[in-house]
Amino acid sequence: MEILIVGGGGREHALAWKLKQSPDCGAIWCAPGNAGTEEIAVNVPIPSDSIDELVEFAKARKIDLVVVGPEAPLAAGLADAMRKEGVPVFGPNQNAACIESSKKFARELMERNGIPSPKFQSFTSPEPAKAYVRTLAAEGRRCVVKADGLAAGKGAIVTNDVEEADAAVEACMIKKSFGGAGDAVVIEERLHGPELSILALTDGKHLVILPPAQDHKPIGEGDTGPNTGGMGAYSPVPIVTDELIQTVRRSILEPAVRGMEAAGAPYSGVLYAGLMLCGGAPYVIEFNCRFGDPETQAVLPAIDEDLLPLLLSAANGSLGETRVIPPAQNALCVVMASAGYPGAYEKGKPILGLDKISEAMDDRAIVFLAGAKKDGDQIMTSGGRVLGVTGLGEDFDEAYENAYEAVNRIQFANTYYRKDIGYRVRGG
């Protein structure tokens, strides 16, 4: 089978790495890909938002399966365009990608289907939004202000008091900090508790649930400082019991998929549930319409099962049964970033040590490249999150040790990484 992977981050490198292991996998094409996908796939210089070009390429190459990595092309209708031309595609249509591209749509779906969520309301002008902030405050609740539309993971502002919430409303609606994405806002009750990402493959009826992961969004150790796309992740998550996964299936994933069908937007692809455990019970913080990054760099190495037949059956509506894939091992991914990220950072630094990793670590660690590109034979930094190092092990500690051993073997100027990925587990 010939596969086209759309995107060019660490997630797409991990997808290519995993799909390449399938006995059914022929050539993999990656648009646009990165220095990592180049090692196992053929990079095609088509940006992930060039829908027409991607469709033309898939038709011309007779691609058997398109796997879409990022949310933006899904929200722009890439999957619809492929389906219209009869190209099998893993990823939701535009009206179903709304589960991520509109926070209001997602919260209303949850409300209609009884999916555990914080209290919320949505607004299209600032004054009533600020009034709701005060209603929540009078009930003793703090709030999170969210731009309704896609804002590259930066559109949720977690606030501590009414003044901060007012400033967040103004940033979205008056200063237009997120452009049109902030024309509408959702204001919701701020919850507290550990976060958890549960990713499930779905054909719109059945769900194949992958091992849970825990992401580390803030830039600083101990989860301090501004949020990033994610600085590290591990899978499975020791606190997550089988019973909890079944609760998530019953009370969150299945009602969401049924609710999408009822809304006239049948959902296929990955359903990513970003959850918070409050008093042990899972609440939905957000749904995403794609694989998580860096969660994918931990979840895929944690499973033995062949991913390709699963993506194909999710794409063509034949998953057949709902089940949970057990982890075969532990995986912990540490993201190495350019100092300054998520703000301004320098690029173009040579990355050293990559060529020695597989020899030094055997199968104990894998490097997934993200913001990295080739300049002749040398791999250079080209983005904020430069790469992810995934350590593997029979238990959490072994995966942790292997990840940081491999991190210590890689150097580039101005490297920044969190030294505490998995601290919740290590802290006991």
Tell me which residues touch ligand AMP (CB under 6 A): 118, 144, 146, 156, 158, 188, 190-191, 195, 217, 227, 274, 285-286
Which of 62, 192 has the CB closer to ligand AMP? 192
Tell me how far, at minimum, the Cβ of 364 lies from ligand AMP, in Å. 30
Distance CA 92, CA 119 (A): 27
Distance CA 162, CA 361 (A): 51
Does position 215 interact with ligand GLY (CB under 6 A)? The reply is yes
Count of CB atoms within 10 A of residue 299's CB? 29
Q: Which residue is nearest to ligand AMP (CB)?
A: 156
Distance CA 211, CA 234 (A): 10
Distance CA 104, CA 183 (A): 12
Among 292, 327, 383, 388, binds ligand GLY (CB under 6 A): 292
Which of 288, 338 has the CB closer to ligand GLY? 288
Does position 80 interact with ligand GLY (CB under 6 A)? The reply is no
Distance CA 260, CA 237 (A): 28
Does position 228 interact with ligand GLY (CB under 6 A)? The reply is no
Which of 67, 169 has the CB closer to ligand GLY? 67
Does position 293 interact with ligand GLY (CB under 6 A)? The reply is yes
Tell me how far, at minimum, the Cβ of 293 lies from ligand GLY, in Å. 5
Beta strands in 28-102 (DSSP E): 28-32, 42-43, 65-68, 89-90
Q: Which residue is nearest to ligand GLY (CB)?
A: 230
Distance CA 404, CA 383 (A): 21
Does position 230 interact with ligand GLY (CB under 6 A)? The reply is yes
Which of 64, 295 has the CB closer to ligand GLY? 295
Residues 138-157 that bind ligand GLY (CB under 6 A): 153
Cα distances from 205 to residues 208, 272, 306, 314, 395, in angstroms, run: 10, 15, 21, 9, 33
Among ligand AMP, ligand GLY, none, the one that 292 touches (CB under a kind-dependent 5 to 8 A) is ligand GLY
* Burial class of residue 426 in the structure, from the number of CB atoms within 10 Å of its CB (0-12 exposed, 13-18 middle, 19+ buried): exposed
Dihedral-angle region of residue 340 (phi above 0 means left; psi in -120 to 50 means alpha; beta otherwise): left
The tokens of 143 are what?
A: 């709030």
Contacting range for ligand GLY; rule: CB under 6 A; set: 38-46, 168-176, 287-295, 317-325: 287-295
Residues near ligand GLY (CB under 6 A) are 153, 215, 229-230, 288, 292-293, 295
